[in-house]
Amino acid sequence: MSNTHGMTPTNSAIFGGSLRIPGEKAAAKPVVRATWKPRQRWRAFSSKLFFFTSLMATVLAVAALIYLLQSVAEQGLDRVSWSFITSFPSRFPAKAGVKAALWGSAYLTVLTAAISVPIGVGAAIYLEEFAADSKLRRFIDINIANLAGVPSIVYGMLGLMLFVRICHFGRSLLAGAATMSLLILPIIIVASREALKTIPTGIRHAAFGLGATRWQTVRAHVLPSALPGILTGVILSLSRAVGETAPLLMIGALSYMAFVPETPMDAFTVLPIQIFNWTARPQDEFHVTAAAGIIVLLALLLTVNALAIFLRMRYQRKAQW
Amino acid sequence: MVNVGKDQATVFEPSAPYAIEVNDVNVSYGTSRAVLDVSLKIPEHTIVALIGPSGCGKSTLLRSMNRMNDFVSSAKVTGEILFRGSNIYADDADPVLLRRQIGMVFQKPNPFPTSIRKNITWGPGINGFQGDYNKLVESSLRRAALWDEVAGKLGESGLALSGGQQQRLCIARAIAMDPDVILMDEPCSALDPGSTLKIENLLLELKERFTIVIVTHNMQQARRVSDYTAFMYQGELVEFGPTDGVFETPKQELTRDYVSGRFG
Ligand SMILES: Nc1ncnc2c1ncn2[C@@H]1O[C@H](COP(=O)(O)OP(=O)(O)O)[C@@H](O)[C@H]1O
Ligand SMILES: [Mg+2]
């Protein structure tokens, strides 16, 4: 055995048995060298293979997106015009527009944000910064994670019962926003908690060590540092709300509306419902109108996401990390 | 090696007044016990070093002195720790007020991700400091031997400083609160020898005004800076006394073995 120098077998295997204690004379006995199989070519090949596979996955995803955008644009781009955005829907495809749906989506988003952001961020701060590590908290943790996976139609049913019927909100914007808030609250809470978790504990301890209360610590140091992450989570979940249809159909958003909602108690419709309504019509001209509606919806989503990026960059600079 | 029981430990009693008195303190994390029946008295305006092999409970004991252990949910402290004569673990004791009077410097420099100036002024600000903030910033930085290096860039981020400068900023931040006691947990372990020397010299000046308890795994450092040394082993206080005595004529065999570098 090569274990002659009192080394452990592992050591001699690693160094191929050629390691000697300094000062010792070259071993008289022939040293048995461990065999190495670097498999250099296989490793280089498998690396290339993986690179190619992941590249293909990306290309496929992007190609599908481009195809979608291209076919929608081909069908509907000509139809998008100022009058399309400023007209109410109509029996005549050529006159139909998205005014009510666009305003409905915008109001719904703002109202949803107003309800869900304070509650969601507040809950995240409580769970992450204040709540003691207890069985109850772990139970809440698991449930919030599970709620994020509940199908949206279930939230629609809950909203119908709770807000439309029990709270007597009727089939209003407020009922829709409350339902959407339920839907995105788990996402906001989870994303905000993740953002809070990335803030080093050293910062909190530094503040506590100066005689700060928990709230002072969170308010002055933890929250500002976590804000970019929280904002990203909030805006991404809001853009999910912009695209949702099922729960709003459930609580009875209108599919034909010839006015813009003015108070939270008014009836409403949103872009995805309007688009769904148009695609369900037999006339081909309405499918063109639907494509145009999709373009408006995508533009709205892109705007919201661009806002997320803008805000994140702005606050990141402010936080001076 | 056998543990010394509490009765066999050699614990010197320095003369009053004391900044902190630790009486029969036990700290456990869940079922594992980290500090066992420790009692010692820390005289005012001295530097007390806590030494011992890693994992022996130095940090745990230190954190129990300003109730930073409150943030470890499994930690449980029994016994009493007197600060200004009253038990900091009494039901009516306010840990927030306590930490305002017993400052802390951590092992890893942890400046706030804000300007150097704001690092100093935030603590006094939330605690209602009424004086001149510009003077406060300058005097704290001067006493932390950092003023000359940062005077022209008080608006820059504390994170842009070197490790040694960051740690001195953290010391300045603690000084700015004008506390009675400053607890330091291996403040030099992440620093280069130059910065370490600066901080050691700084400590000797600071003891005129503050009482300092410093955890260190560096025995030379304990010898250079401290007046009293406490040697801990496996959660127990083995020996506490004037630093020269602990290093030159240790009463306990365990202490002798440790300070002579036989284990650690
Ligand atoms: N937050 C913690 N949770 C559980 N056990 C801990 C925690 N901190 C320290 N301990 C344990 O307590 C003992 C003492 O640790 P510590 O006080 O950090 O020792 P030292 O500072 O002397 O190296 C160790 O056994 C360590 O594993
Ligand atoms: Mg430690």
Rg from Cα positions in chain A: 30
State the pLDDT at residue A28.
Answer: 63
Task: List the structure tokens of A270.
Answer: 């949103």
Judge residue B193's burial from the number of C-beta atoms within 10 Å of its C-beta, 0-12 exposed, 13-18 middle, 19 or more buried: exposed
Average pLDDT over residues A82-105: 87
- Is residue B1 in a domain? no
Average pLDDT over residues A137-162: 91
The tens digit of pLDDT for each residue in A24-43 reads 455 567 777 888 888 899 99
Tell whether ligand 1 has an atom less than 6 A from the beta carbon of residue B64. Answer: no
Residue B22 CA from chain centroid, whole number: 14
Q: Which residues of chain B have pLDDT under 50?
A: 1-2
Mean pLDDT computed over every residue of chain B? 93
B20 vs A178, A282, B46, B230, B243, CA distance in Å?
Answer: 55, 85, 11, 14, 18
State the pLDDT at residue B125.
Answer: 96
- Is residue A83 in a domain? no
Range of the domain at A177: 102-269
Nearest CA in chain A to B103: A209
C-alpha to C-alpha distance for B18 and B46, rounded to whole angstroms: 10
**Crossing angle of helices A223-243/A284-319, nearest 10°?**
180
**Which H or E run contains B200?**
helix B193-206
State the pLDDT at residue A317.
Answer: 57
Tell whether ligand 1 has an atom less than 6 A from the beta carbon of residue B74. Answer: yes
Specify the number of domains making up chain A: 1
Interchain pair B103, A220: CB under 8 A: no
Answer yes or no: are the C-beta atoms of A210 and B123 closer than 8 Å: yes
- How many other β-carbons are positioned within 10 Å of the β-carbon of residue B249? 10
B89 residue type, one letter: Y
Average pLDDT over residues A66-82: 89
DSSP B102: E
State the pLDDT at residue A87.
Answer: 86
Which of B54, B59, B74 to mutate to test ligand 1, by most ligand atoms within 8 A of the CB atom? B59
> Considering CB atoms only, which of A133, A203, A213 is closest to B96?
A213
**Taking phi first (over 0 means left), then psi (-120 to 50 degrees means alpha), and beta for anything else, what does residue B178 get?**
left
- Is residue A133 in a domain? yes
State the pLDDT at residue A25.
Answer: 52
C-alpha to C-alpha distance for B156 and A320, rounded to whole angstroms: 9
C-alpha to C-alpha distance for A183 and A302, rounded to whole angstroms: 21
State the complex-level ipTM.
Answer: 0.93
State the pLDDT at residue A86.
Answer: 85
> What are B124's strand-pairing partners?
none
Residues 188-227 of chain A whose Cβ lies under 8 A from any Cβ of chain B:
200, 202-213, 216, 220-221, 225
C-alpha to C-alpha distance for A144 and A189, rounded to whole angstroms: 8
- Is residue A195 in a domain? yes
pTM score? 0.83
- Is residue A62 in a domain? no
Tell whether ligand 1 has an atom less than 6 A from the beta carbon of residue B147. Answer: no
- Is residue A42 in a domain? no
Mean pLDDT computed over every residue of chain A? 86
State the pLDDT at residue B7.
Answer: 62
CATH code assigned at B111: 3.40.50.300
Nearest CA in chain B to A318: B114
Answer yes or no: are the C-beta atoms of A97 and A84 closer than 8 Å: yes
C-alpha to C-alpha distance for B236 and A154, rounded to whole angstroms: 59
Tell whether ligand 1 has an atom less than 6 A from the beta carbon of residue B56. Answer: yes
Answer yes or no: are the C-beta atoms of B79 and B36 closer than 8 Å: no
> Considering CB atoms only, which of B71, B112, B173 is closest to A208?
B71
Residue A259 CA from chain centroid, whole number: 32
- Is residue B140 in a domain? yes
Q: Which residue is associated with the tokens 């994140």? A: A312
Rg from Cα positions in chain B: 18
By C-alpha distance, which of B51, B48, B63 is closest to B14? B48
C-alpha to C-alpha distance for A283 and A93, rounded to whole angstroms: 9
- Is residue B264 in a domain? no
Task: List the structure tokens of A127.
Answer: 């769970």
State the pLDDT at residue B6.
Answer: 56
- Is residue B168 in a domain? yes
Starting from the CA of residue B73, give the closest ligand: 1
- Is residue A255 in a domain? yes
Answer yes or no: are the C-beta atoms of B107 and B187 closer than 8 Å: yes
State the pLDDT at residue B5.
Answer: 59
A94-131 burial: b if 16+ Cβ within 10 Å, else e:
eebbbbbbbbbbebbbebbbebbbeebbebbbebbbee
Residues 102-141 of chain B whose Cβ lies under 8 A from any Cβ of chain A:
103-104, 106, 108, 110-115, 122-123, 126-127
Answer yes or no: are the C-beta atoms of B109 and B167 closer than 8 Å: yes
Answer yes or no: are the C-beta atoms of A242 and A294 closer than 8 Å: no
Interchain pair B126, A320: CB under 8 A: no
Residue B38 CA from chain centroid, whole number: 16
- Is residue A212 in a domain? yes
Answer yes or no: are the C-beta atoms of A292 and A84 closer than 8 Å: yes
- Is residue A33 in a domain? no
Report whether pLDDT(A19) > 60: no
- Is residue B203 in a domain? yes
C-alpha to C-alpha distance for A204 and A218, rounded to whole angstroms: 8
C-alpha to C-alpha distance for B89 and A63, rounded to whole angstroms: 65
The tens digit of pLDDT for each residue in A107-116 reads 999 999 999 9
Q: How confident is the model at residue A6 (pLDDT cuts 50, 70, 90)?
A: very low
**Residue of A134 and B61 predicted with greater confidence:** B61
What's the gap in Å between the CA of B122 and the closest CA on chain A?
A: 9
Collapsing DSSP to helix, strand or coil, B171 comes out as: helix
Specify the number of domains making up chain B: 1
> Which stretches within chain A are classed as H helix?
9-14, 40-76, 82-86, 99-125, 135-147, 152-159, 173-197, 201-209, 214-217, 223-243, 246-251, 271-279, 284-319
By C-alpha distance, which of A250, A241, A242 is closest to A155? A250
C-alpha to C-alpha distance for A174 and A118, rounded to whole angstroms: 16
CATH code assigned at A177: 1.10.3720.10
A219 C-alpha to ligand 2 centroid (Å)? 29
DSSP A222: I
Chain B residues close to A320, C-beta within 8 Å: 113-115, 157, 159
Q: Which residues surround ligand 2, an ion (CB under 5 A)?
A: B 59
C-alpha to C-alpha distance for B127 and B123, rounded to whole angstroms: 6
Report whether pLDDT(A255) > 80: no
Q: Which residues contact B230 (CB under 8 A, 6 or more apart)?
A: B40, B48, B49, B50, B51, B237, B239, B240
